[in-house]
Amino acid sequence: MMLDRMTAPVRRRMAWLVAGNVALLLVIFSCLLPGDTISGAVSRLGTVLADTPRNIAPEMLAAIGLTAIIWTGAIDLSIGSVLAVGGAVFAMGYSHGAHPAICFAGCLLAAGGLVACNGLLVRWLRIPALIVTLAGLAAYRGLALVLVNVGVPGFDGNLTVPEEIYRVPGRDWAAWILLAAAGSAVAAELFFRMPRLWLAHGSSSAACRLHGLDLSRLAVSAFLFGGFYLGLGGVLYVSNQQTIDPARMALGFELSVIAAVVLGGTNIFGGEGSFLGTLLGVLFLYLARQTLLYALDDVHARQAFEGALILGVIGFDCVLHRGEHRMEELK
């Protein structure tokens, strides 16, 4: 069936993640229990779950986009800064009284455009995606600051957007948008050809060339897809905030997204993975963060724990692939 097209390690990883997510839910539940009845705790858990789509949507959509990029053997470290630019464009539109739809459209186009730009630069300059997007990580943050200072009259560090209408996509529609977008991605990998070609590119670009596939088109299309999903995630992110602060928004975003993608079973070097696995991975990291919230009172320790968790996840994944590397290397 469809699961046959996923490799065995990916399937195993998804099974672990399902178990892990259930386990985390139980842990959260047990943290909610003390000082409450069972039905009370259940309803509180329900609230947590109900809040999840709107909180998880930006990261989940960005992760889906990044998954496609990583499949082709590339990477994008600039996605946090790209979101900042999206936020800046949104702020520019808002401060000039543009219709909400225009503001959000601007955000989406800006984010999508920058990621597409990354893809084109990698292809054109023949520099590793690592470097181009590392530069983007810095440059786009600066661009966001410049845009917001130039385009928003009287900008003083952040912009408050109190009107309820701007919350609509991020709060009210988030679950539906997420369902539609994530559903489309999973449907694409189940029913369409392009995701398989992205995986082929990451697996062996030489084989793709021999079969007559256009490598540039494959590589850039993955970035276009990633840009669109990141843009969509950006719209939901911006819509979920009361204030837009381009200097600080989405700092460190890229790392938790990369960790979620790798956790979901996608090989960081490309060629292997699944959108469904990515979704499970994002959910796991989200629930882990929530668990930390309930289990740990110390606000200051949160980032440290999250960093440790991410390192643990990535380190564990790399150790699994270690054996094959070493032998191949010596040949």
Indicate whether 212 belongs to the interface with other proteins (CB under 8 A).
yes
Indicate whether 207 belongs to the interface with other proteins (CB under 8 A).
yes
Q: Which of 23, 192, 295, 296 binds other proteins (CB under 8 A)?
A: 192
Residue number with CB closer to other proteins (164 or 298): 298
String of b and e for 110-142 (b: at least 16 CB within 10 Å)? bbbbbbbbbbbbbbeeeeebeebbeebbeebbe
Count of residues in contact with other proteins, rule CB under 8 A: 74
Indicate whether 135 belongs to the interface with other proteins (CB under 8 A).
yes
- Neighbouring-strand partners of residue 43: none
Q: Are 241 and 112 in contact (CB under 8 A)?
A: no
Q: Are 21 and 287 in contact (CB under 8 A)?
A: yes
Q: Which of 22, 38, 138, 296 binds other proteins (CB under 8 A)?
A: 138
Indicate whether 101 belongs to the interface with other proteins (CB under 8 A).
no
Residue number with CB closer to other proteins (60 or 310): 310
How crowded is residue 88: how many other Cβ atoms within 10 Å of its Cβ? 31
Indicate whether 156 belongs to the interface with other proteins (CB under 8 A).
no
Least Å distance, CB 216 to other proteins, is 15
Q: What percent of the residues of the chain are helix, what percent strand, and what percent coil, each to the nearest 5?
A: 80, 0, 20
Residue number with CB closer to other proteins (35 or 154): 154
Indicate whether 120 belongs to the interface with other proteins (CB under 8 A).
no
Least Å distance, CB 192 to other proteins, is 6
**Binding residues for other proteins restricted to 58-97, rule: CB under 8 A:** 75, 77
Q: Which of 105, 117, 213, 292 binds other proteins (CB under 8 A)?
A: 213
Of 17-25, 31-39, 125-133, 283-291: span binding other proteins (CB under 8 A)? 125-133
- Neighbouring-strand partners of residue 244: 159
Residue 297, classified by CB atoms within 10 Å of its CB into exposed (0-12), middle (13-18) or buried (19+), is: exposed
Residue number with CB closer to other proteins (59 or 306): 306
Indicate whether 121 belongs to the interface with other proteins (CB under 8 A).
yes
Of 56-64, 98-106, 123-131, 235-243: span binding other proteins (CB under 8 A)? 123-131
Q: DSSP letter at 167?
A: G
**Binding residues for other proteins restricted to 216-245, rule: CB under 8 A:** none
Q: Are 78 and 195 in contact (CB under 8 A)?
A: no
Indicate whether 157 belongs to the interface with other proteins (CB under 8 A).
no
Indicate whether 158 belongs to the interface with other proteins (CB under 8 A).
no
String of b and e for 158-190 (b: at least 16 CB within 10 Å)? bbebeeeebbebbbebbeebbeebbeebbebbe
Tokens representing residue 109 in the block: 């186009």
Q: Coil, strand, or helix at residue 56?
A: helix
**Binding residues for other proteins restricted to 294-313, rule: CB under 8 A:** 298, 300-308, 310-311
Euclidean distance between CA atoms 137 and 77, whole angstroms: 6
Residue number with CB closer to other proteins (162 or 191): 191
Q: Are 257 and 65 in contact (CB under 8 A)?
A: no
Q: Coil, strand, or helix at residue 42?
A: helix
Least Å distance, CB 118 to other proteins, is 11
